[in-house]
Every structure is written in C-alpha cells, then in structure tokens.
Structure 1
C-alpha cells in the first residue's frame, strides 16, 4: 500500500512539473517577441516610416500618453506617430525593459523605462511605461500602451 501511495505522489509531482513547463516557455516566447518588437520600434521614427510603428500595435490598441486623452482603435497608432514625429520631433529612442510577467498565453505585462531623442540625437524626454501585450494571429502586439514623463513639462 505504501508503494502505491509513493508512486501516486511521484506521478503527481512529475505531472505538475510538466504542466508548468509550457507556461515558462510561453512567457519566454513572449519576452523574446517583445524584445524583437522593441528593438525596431524607434526605427520607424529614424526612417520616418509609420508602417513599422503601426505594426507594433494590435488593431484594437489604446495608446495612453501623458496629458492627452487615450487614442484607441485601428487608427490610434498612426495618429500618435504623426503627432510624435511632426509635432514633437521624435526621431529615435530607447526602451529599457525591467520586467515582463504573466502566463504568456494571451496577455503579458511589460514594465520599464524609455528615452526619446530629437533629430540631433539629443535626449529630450525620458520616463516609465507599462504595456499590456496581447497575443494575436499576427504575433505579440501592444494592446494597452501607457507611459509618463519623468520631467515637468
């Protein structure tokens, strides 16, 4: 009887380990996709190519920039890109991801810091961000993008 209980407990232990491994792999996949997306995000501004920027976002995304109402829906990324490029003069930037968490199945959350540079390569703004990423048929896309400046403007 003791052998049956021991075998049952060992089997349960191994089955628990097997069910958690895919979650870890899913989160690792999400982290990798986020890093790849972030690596080319600011290329859109350096090249003046809104299509690169737009492709980072889900079609039902919301961009929640400081001091302005949220921009939501399919046209939100283009509207934001135009404002940032033409009105603000954003030409490059950098994301520093500090954490990505979640189950990696449908949504994950990324937190970190960002920096914005003008056409002369001068840092003109920096802050923090919180992004909810959504797994879509086209891969991991930004679903809710919220950020704020560390500077008084």
Structure 2
C-alpha cells in the first residue's frame, strides 16, 4: 500500500511540475523575445536614453512600483525612467529570469530577480519581479511590471 501511495504521489507531482512550464513554439518565442528585451533594457540607463526604456513597454503598460501610485502609459514610463536615473542614480543593472509561465498566445508572465547598479557599478538595490508580457503588433512588450526590493527603505535610499 505504501509503494502505491508513493507512486501516485510522485506521478501527481511530476504532472503538476510539467504543467507549470510550457515548451510550445509560441512560449519559446516569447521566452526568446523576453531575453532579448531584457538584454537591451539596462542600456537605457547606461546611455541615459529613455526611449530604449519606453520601447520595452506596451503603449498601455503600467509600472507597479512599491510605495508608489500606478504609473500607466508612455508618459508615466518616461517619468519613472527619469526618477530612476536622476533621483536614485541607476546606471545599469541585471535581470535574472527564473521562470516564464503561459502558452505564449497573447500573454506570458515572467518571474525573476533584479539588481540595480550605480555609476561605479556598485549594487545599490536588488529584489524580485513579476512582469506580464503582452504580444503586440510590435512584438512582446512589458504590459504590467511589478517589483519589490529585498532591502528595507532605509537601506535602499542610503548612498
């Protein structure tokens, strides 16, 4: 009886885990587009070019930053970029995608961790994120960007 229970448990866990990751051609296309966009994203801060940042987002995108109101649309994305660059000293960073969920038909969700670097290449903040990506006429774009720091507010703003 214990062997049967163990077999059923392992089979159920395997089925659950395999259902979490979609390897369809559409989801693979989305994963590749996300990786390409993420590779470009921080160049906006390296070059102080908000257009690179804004173009990573859909026209109707919303940035859902911690301790801040919802910021939707390209004008708000530009304001977010300026604040990150001017007020926080963001000059580079890194995304590490840990998973992508969805079948890639219209939306996929990216989960991961991020790091923010200043002009000296020093890590000044880090955290986790969820991004809902939307397939648009211009390709895959960030549609909802939600993130939070792993540091408390006093640590994050000390420089």
Q: TM-score, normalised by structure 1?
A: 0.84
- Residues of 2 paired with 1:105 and 1:76: CA distance? 27
* CA shift digits 1:82-139 (9 cap, x unpaired): 1100111100000000000101010000000000000011100000000000000000
State the secondary structure of the residue aligned to 1:69. coil
Mapping for residues 55-134 of structure 1, pairs under 5 Å: 55-134=55-134
Question: Quick one: distance in 2 between partners of 1:132 and 1:60?
Answer: 12
Which segments of 5 or more consecutive residues in structure 1 lack a partner in the other structure? 1-22
Identify the residue that residue 30 of structure 2 maps to in structure 1: 30
Check whether the contact 1:61–1:76 (CA below 8 A) recurs between aligned residues. no
SS in 1 for 2:74: coil
The alpha-carbon deviation at position 140 of structure 1 amounts to 0.1
- Aligned partners of 1:131, 1:117: CA distance in 2, in Å? 20
Counterpart-to-counterpart distance in 1, 2:40 and 2:47: 11
Aligned-pair CA distance for 1:76:
2.0
| Matched residue, 1:137 | 137
Q: Does 1:42 align with 2:42?
A: yes
Tell me by how many angstroms 1:75 deviates: 1.3
RMSD after superposition: 0.8
Once residues 126 and 42 of structure 1 are traced to their aligned partners in structure 2, the CA distance between those partners, rounded to angstroms, is 14
Unpaired runs of at least 5, structure 2: 1-22, 154-159
- The separation in 1 between residues aligned to 2:100 and 2:39, in whole angstroms, is 15
TM-score in terms of structure 2 length: 0.81
